[in-house]
Chains A and B, each alone.
Chain A
């Protein structure tokens, strides 16, 4: 939708993108498996890629023929991406990569990975990083699923053991990986906030129904003052996110630069989603303990999954702590804490 026409996109303006994403969310469409390619790898290739790379990769991201994953985080480099230690050594017209990546969605089915590596062993922090496109079918790539708190294996670890990558697969230049990675991360939060807001709206609608349908001694939970007060509070927050999202899009459409609202919305949404789904457990009382698969389950364990999954929201795509630092330092201009 948002990609330029010359690369097969529709050059949709921010308002059109928002309408598209909102409607997808509204019909509860599952997230596409091509999300990393479409929202992160593709836009990064458009900005930093060679003509050859654009011709090779972009159309197959759009058609869904090739799935992408992201190799940024490492066991020792989570929020602190500049702590990356995955080694890359130039060997003729190839790079040889050795290291370990973690929290990679869709890696088990991915064809390609956008990988941040350290090319200069003497370097530290932001300097000396190199950004590569790695074929996930190469020898030496091993993917192991990580089972998370919900019991689902949504993420993976990627082990790279002397994986050989053609030198032409570099994005940007050697040592310039940090700048390229920032392009990727800028697109990660972009217009995502709007889709998240619609998801919250739907969860709130489901919660209202749950509160109407849950009765204790004939009294509907929704008739309790504490429940009404909480639901009304949630309603205000969902609306606030919607409107701040619109302001953010209007701002983006006018200036062409994503404002700080993306960080604000992601921070708020992630913490809000935890409170929202936890409230379902409060409504369910003892039934909150029962997972799906029993005649006594409520909605086949939907709320058990949602609540547990929400614990990851404040960690993935920028922890709440990092986002508060971003707002404090880049928006409010407070002195850096590091």
Chain B
């Protein structure tokens, strides 16, 4: 039982951090936020050259074949840097196709998702509800496959996507389809979201024809939700740690009443609490990632816990971070608001803390 990263994983982390410090500085993030383009294409290409989109896709489908621990590491660093690219959405679409696609579908989509030439997205939710029974978009059998009809909301990076995995209500159960964004009847509308570092879309499917071969096998809703929870938890941890570091640095240098403000316990004790939150988030994410690679039985619960706690840590570190920075922290000019908004958006992304705690409570009674 050695509960720590391996040397290779530490090396990966530092190379990812170096790359992002160089290529994904605040100026790049802000440019992406202000842009009409749904993501920074140049940054995405550079990341794809390093193999990131295919990090946990098996080598036989053109990926690097690493696991969820490495993916979580990458996510943590992306949170730190507010990576403004369609990584999570592409990862989730590949995860869905890998879990439920037939060989032909896998061969058609996975290599392109792995090398970054295709952007993927998953379209699960249609409103406030985040349980399988809340899915209403209809899948109707037709002569040569299925017809999809309905509207999906909160599709992360939906405007950038070439490939969309859609959850639909079939005759008796939920069904999942891989749809090309250029298919007839698919129309995408950007949502004006508060967190500009990660775009979202509403996508309507008006009588969209999908071949049977594009249907995915199995019930992958929970699987996607829980892997997303793990990834977002890791991002939140990166956000929290970065904002804690910024606030500690500020508290050491900012002088008021003739002393650095970190001398005052009203400030330093906030930072001590932040440290506790961030350390626990790191622990919970590390375990959930390990469970995702080793043992699917405990992975879901571990990922729920990690997402709820890391979201709490990220909200505290960004919110109290703004408070510690005072006036400058409240300005558009300072980066803290970008972190604050991403932390809040992440908290409700895919599944929110209230819903996840409800799932955890169910397990407590088992």
A and B are partners in one complex rather than unrelated chains? yes
The DSSP consensus for interface residues of chain A is helix
A124 at the interface (CB under 8 A from B): no
Q: In the complex, which of the residues A246, A264, A334 contacts B1, with contact meaning CB atoms closer than 8 Å?
A: A246
Q: Which residue of B lies closest to A15 (CB)?
A: B1
A284 at the interface (CB under 8 A from B): no
Interface contact A244-B280, CB-CB below 8 Å = yes
**Nearest CB of chain A from residue B354's CB, rounded to whole Å:** 7
* Residues in B whose Cβ lies below 8 Å from that of A323: 272
B3 at the interface (CB under 8 A from A): yes
Complex CA gap A325/B262 in Å reads: 11
Complex CA gap A321/B269 in Å reads: 8
Q: In the complex, which of the residues B263, B305, B354 contacts A337, with contact meaning CB atoms closer than 8 Å?
A: B263
Q: Which residue of B lies closest to A246 (CB)?
A: B3
* Residues in A whose Cβ lies below 8 Å from that of B286: 243, 247
Complex CA gap A254/B283 in Å reads: 17
* Residues in B whose Cβ lies below 8 Å from that of A328: 262, 265, 268-269, 271-272
Complex CA gap A232/B281 in Å reads: 16
Of B17-25, B102-110, B194-202, B355-363, the one contacting chain A is B355-363
Complex CA gap A331/B271 in Å reads: 11
Which residues of B1-15 are within 8 A (CB) of A? 1-4
* Residues in B whose Cβ lies below 8 Å from that of A261: 279
Q: Which residue of B lies closest to A249 (CB)?
A: B3
Interface contact A232-B4, CB-CB below 8 Å = no
Interface contact A264-B357, CB-CB below 8 Å = no
What 1/0 flags go to B344-366 for Cβ under 8 Å of A? Answer: 00000000001011101100110
B177 at the interface (CB under 8 A from A): no
Q: Given A324-B272, A327-B275: A254 and B4 within 8 A (CB)?
A: yes
Q: Which residue of A lies closest to B274 (CB)?
A: A332
Complex CA gap A333/B302 in Å reads: 32
Interface contact A229-B248, CB-CB below 8 Å = no
B295 at the interface (CB under 8 A from A): no
* Residues in A whose Cβ lies below 8 Å from that of B283: 240, 243-244, 246-247
Interface contact A232-B364, CB-CB below 8 Å = yes
* Residues in B whose Cβ lies below 8 Å from that of A237: 280, 309
Which residues of A211-237 are within 8 A (CB) of B? 212, 222, 228-229, 231-233, 235-237
A208 at the interface (CB under 8 A from B): yes
Which residues of B195-218 are within 8 A (CB) of A? none
Interface contact A235-B252, CB-CB below 8 Å = no
Q: In the complex, which of the residues B248, B282, B305, B354 contacts A334, with contact meaning CB atoms closer than 8 Å?
A: B248
B273 at the interface (CB under 8 A from A): yes
Interface contact A264-B308, CB-CB below 8 Å = no
Interface contact A324-B265, CB-CB below 8 Å = yes
**Nearest CB of chain B from residue A295's CB, rounded to whole Å:** 29
* Residues in B whose Cβ lies below 8 Å from that of A108: none
Q: Which residue of A lies closest to B269 (CB)?
A: A324
In this complex, the interface size class of chain A, counting residues with CB under 8 Å from chain B, is: 35 or more
Q: Given A228-B357, A232-B361: A253 and B2 within 8 A (CB)?
A: yes
What 1/0 flags go to A250-269 for Cβ under 8 Å of B? Answer: 11011000000100100110
* Residues in B whose Cβ lies below 8 Å from that of A240: 280-281, 283-284, 305, 309
Interface contact A235-B272, CB-CB below 8 Å = no
Q: Which residue of A lies closest to B275 (CB)?
A: A327
Complex CA gap A174/B357 in Å reads: 57
Complex CA gap A261/B4 in Å reads: 14
Interface contact A250-B1, CB-CB below 8 Å = yes
* Residues in B whose Cβ lies below 8 Å from that of A113: none
**Nearest CB of chain A from residue B28's CB, rounded to whole Å:** 29
* Residues in B whose Cβ lies below 8 Å from that of A332: 248, 268, 271-272, 275
A241 at the interface (CB under 8 A from B): yes
Interface contact B360-A247, CB-CB below 8 Å = no
Complex CA gap A98/B4 in Å reads: 50
Interface contact A337-B357, CB-CB below 8 Å = no
Interface contact A232-B263, CB-CB below 8 Å = no
Interface contact A334-B252, CB-CB below 8 Å = yes
Complex CA gap A261/B279 in Å reads: 9
Beyond contacts A232-B308, A237-B309: 4 other A-B pairs, Cβ-Cβ < 8 A, are A240-B284, A244-B280, A246-B283, A334-B252
List 8 tightest A-B contacts by C-beta distance, closest first: A243-B283, A240-B280, A232-B357, A328-B268, A228-B361, A334-B262, A232-B360, A327-B272
Name 9 A/B residue pairs within 8 A (Cβ), A-sorted: A15-B1, A208-B364, A232-B361, A235-B361, A241-B280, A243-B284, A246-B283, A247-B3, A329-B268
